[in-house]
Each structure stands twice: as C-alpha cells, then as structure tokens.
Amino acid sequence: MKRLFSEVYLHLIAGVIALGILGISAHTLWMDRQNTWQEAEKASRNVLTSIAHDLDGNLELLDLSLKGAMEGLRYLGIQQLPPDLQYRMLFDRAVSASFMGTLLLVDEVGNLIADAGPVIASRSLNVADREYFIAHKENNHIGLYVSRPFASRTRHGDLSIGISRRLSDSAGRFAGVVMGSMPLTTINQLFDNLSLGQQGAINLFRNDGVLLTRYPYDESQIDQDLGGSPHVQRLLQKNSGTFDSVSPIDGVRRIISFERLDKYPLVLTVALSVDEIFSAWQRKALVLSLVTLILCCAVVGLTILFQRELKRRTRAETKLRRIARTDDLTGLPNRRAFRETFEREWRQAIRSGSVLSLLFVDADYFKSFNDRYGHGRGDEVLRAIASTLDTNIRRPRDIAARYGGEEFAVVLPETDLAGAQLIAETIRQTIVAMGIAHEGSPYHVVTASIGIASVQPSRGSERATVLETADQALYRAKAAGRNCVRNFEDGIGSRQQRHPHAAA
C-alpha cells in the first residue's frame, strides 16, 4: 500500500510539473500572441492616420480649386476679360494642387466651358454621359461628389476619379459642373514608400462600398461594388475601428484598420496579413513548443527512471527484510520473525478471547546424526523437516519457524489443545514416514519429539510462560523416549526448570 501511494505521489508530482511547464509555455505564447496582435493593430493605425492626413490635405486643396473656379465663374465681367485673366480668375487656386489631373468647367448640357489641364486638341468635349454630371443634374443637394473610376478623355485614358460640385444659375437651376480629376496612379504614389508586407493592402472605398483604388494596384480589382459584403458593411457602419476579416477581394485574412474621412464620402483602410504578422510568432511558438516538449519528455523520462530506481530499491529493501526474517538453510521464518509473529498473535488472541497453541519440534539424536553422516546430510534433514512442517500447516495465519539448531516452532492461532495435538501427531508421523536412515537412533530413521502448549491469554498474562510451557512439554517428550508428542499437563501455571536435551 505504501509503495502504491509512493508511485501515485510520484506520478502526481510529475504530472504537476509537466502541466506547470505546459501552462507557463502556453501562457507565454498567448501573451506574446496578444502583444503581436496589438503591435500590428497599432502599426496599422499609425500608417492609416498618416495616409488619411495626406489624402485629406490633397482633397482639401482640390476642393479649394473647385470652389475657386466656381467663384471666378460668378464674376459678371469675366467674359469681357482677356483669356489670360480669365484663366487666372478661374484656375489660380488650381496651381497649388499638383496631384490634380484635370480641372473642367462644363455647362448644363455637358459641353466644356474651360479647363485647367493639358491643352485639348478639340473644344467639343462633352461629359454629359459621365456619372458625376448625371448625379449633379439629378440632385441639387448632393454637394461634393466623388465619382467611380473612369478612363480620362483628356489624359489618354488614364483611370481617374472625379471630385465635382454642382454649378447653379441665379435662379438655382442646374448650370453645369466643375470637376477635378485625380489619376489613380497619383493617389497610389502616396502608398509607394510604405512597408506592409507582401500581402498587406490599402483600400479606398466610396461611402456606398465602391472600391475606388487599391494598393498594390491591380486594375482588374478596381471599381467593384462591394457594398453588399459583410466585410465592407463593417467599414461603412462606423467612423473608424479595427477588426480582422477575410477580404472579399482576394480571400486573404487580414487585420484591418479603417477610418472615414471627415469632410469627404470616403473610407480608407490599411490591412495587414494575419499570416505575415504571426509568421515570426509562429517560429517562436514552434521553438518554444519543441523546448516544452523536450522538458516534458525529460520530466517523464526522469520520473520513469526514478520510479524504476524506487522499485529496485523497494525490491532490495523487501529482499533484505525477507532475508532478515528468513532462515538461510530451511527457508522458514527465523527466530526473529517467530517472535514478531508470536507477539502479534498473542495480542490478537487477547482482543478476540481465542485460544493460541504453540508447538516446539526437535529432531531426535541429531548430534549423533551429524557425527555419523556429516553436517551436509544433517542440513538436508533439517530442510526435509522444514518442508514437512510447512506442508502440514495450511491456514494463512499458521506459521512454522526455525527456532534454533535442530529445533523448530509452530504457532497455531485459534487452535485448542486437541487440534494442536492432531497437527503435532500428523507432523511426527510424516517425519517418520520420510524414512531417512539414522543408525544412531533406536528407531533407525530420523524422528522428532514435539511439545505442545495451549492457552487462552488474558490481559496481564506473560508470553514467556507459554514458551516455557511448550519447552517443558518438549522435555517431557524427550524424557518419554523421543519420537512422541507431549503437552505440559499442569498448564501455564506450572513452572519447572528446563532440563537439557539428553543426547539431542
């Protein structure tokens, strides 16, 4: 039971250590992952803020150019001014908007009034079919309008987006549109020096979910209406935020930071690939996991080795205890084991009020046997008698022990005198039946004398009295001619001095 408890305790300690290592490693990895995620969010927010600031400034300059052209057009005498003064009145503010592609003024039917862009070969330009023109014509409260990407007719088909405002006459009727274009290539130049990883992306959406441009630039992905996508809906529902999602554009999972520009109907996003963000963390996690696995295996291995050593020591200690309690010659318990067993059964008999019997068995004429046949044969006789004793006591609590020399003792718990006599006589007859020749004995074979003591012990009674009684009974058997069984008829109360065994 003690050994089992030790093994369980050892396994428990090993399990706690292994779980502790796993717990610490898992916690470390989890905290590191959280820190990596937070750093990625912070980095994307910083990039987003910087880009949004630049884009907002450029759009504000372009809007100022639109408003400047509208104010110049309202000047009543502008038609009488020289062409160069007309240009300055209309487009003086447009000079500062270096990123602007084209600035156009068109009338109520879409025909070109004036432009601040490159020289146009033909003055018959008409934009009545453009989205921005139709939007302003149909809605007089639209304010600043951002168009979908279109192929510019004044810049050799470059994709651009138009930033436009409505022109109205003195009666409030639709009088045309002022539009400034921004080439997508110019917008994307804002993103060129950014390091977002191979799968990082920057997206510029209109507030209805139309993708205006994207970095890295891919013309096939431009001008998609993604307003119905749950991914894009999250962008449009709030002014700013950060979340992770799978892109509906290319299917890559990213951490996305987004911000709605304050003055313009645009949403800007900076997206970092989750796989790239955690690539370094995954390598670290792999190394730490391997180290943790090695440590856990080491704990398990050391536990197994320690358990084996513990078992080996336990077996050695058990063997030593057995050797210390076992007679080397006969294999029976020795005198020390006999005393321990006898004391234990004595206490048990007192508690239960049962009878306890004791046999002393002594080989007859054993000295003369050794003198005639040698000590080697004498040892064989002792082993044969020990085997006989062990064979004839069958109950688990009965014990036969070598008491010393050629003398043996048998403890018979819960056995009265009659039962003890029956067992003793069976033992005597079995020894005779072995037929071991002994010419120095009058019986011509090896025999044994047996003394019996039987008592019901009580508190205060002496164990030594029973030993003396059995010894006296053995003397009586010797005195009666040997090869017989005797008990001390006067019981425990009679005490006599033990006589030496004559010619034992």
Q: Please identify every residue annotated as catalytic.
A: 406
Phi-psi label, residue 143: left if phi above 0, alpha if psi -120 to 50, beta otherwise: left
CA 189, CA 37: separation in Å to the nearest integer? 28
Cβ atoms of 265 and 146 within 8 Å: the answer is yes
CA 238 vs CA 234, 261, 267, 424: distances in Å: 7, 11, 10, 103
Strands 407-413 and 448-455: unpaired
Lay out the sheet containing 399-404: strands in order across. Answer: 399-404, 407-413, 356-363, 448-455, 485-487
How big is the CA angle at 480 (ends 479 and 483), to the nearest 5 degrees?
105
| Element of type H or E holding 105 | strand 103-106
CA 111 vs CA 76, 105, 108, 114, 206: distances in Å: 20, 8, 8, 9, 27
Q: Which of 131, 181, 186 is nearest to 152 (CA)?
A: 181
CA 199, CA 278: separation in Å to the nearest integer? 13
How big is the CA angle at 202 (ends 199 and 204), to the nearest 5 degrees?
145
CA 462, CA 453: separation in Å to the nearest integer? 13
* Nearest 10 degrees: Cα torsion 391, 393, 396, 397: -140
Q: How far apart are the first and last CA of the chain?
A: 45
Whether omega before 265 lies within 30 degrees of 0, making that bond cis, reads no
Give Cβ neighbours of residue 184 (< 8 Å, ≥ 6 apart). Answer: 149, 158, 159, 160, 161, 212, 213, 217, 222
Classify residue 328 by burial, with Cβ atoms within 10 Å: 0-12, 13-18, 19+. exposed
Cβ atoms of 232 and 223 within 8 Å: the answer is no
Count Cβ atoms below 10 Å from residue 269 Cβ, excluding itself: 23
CA 380, CA 382: separation in Å to the nearest integer? 5
CA 310 vs CA 7, 314, 330: distances in Å: 9, 6, 30
Give Cβ neighbours of residue 431 (< 8 Å, ≥ 6 apart). Answer: 384, 385, 388, 446, 447, 448
- Output the six-digit token pair for 56: 């907002």
CA atoms within 13 A on the CB side of 194: 23
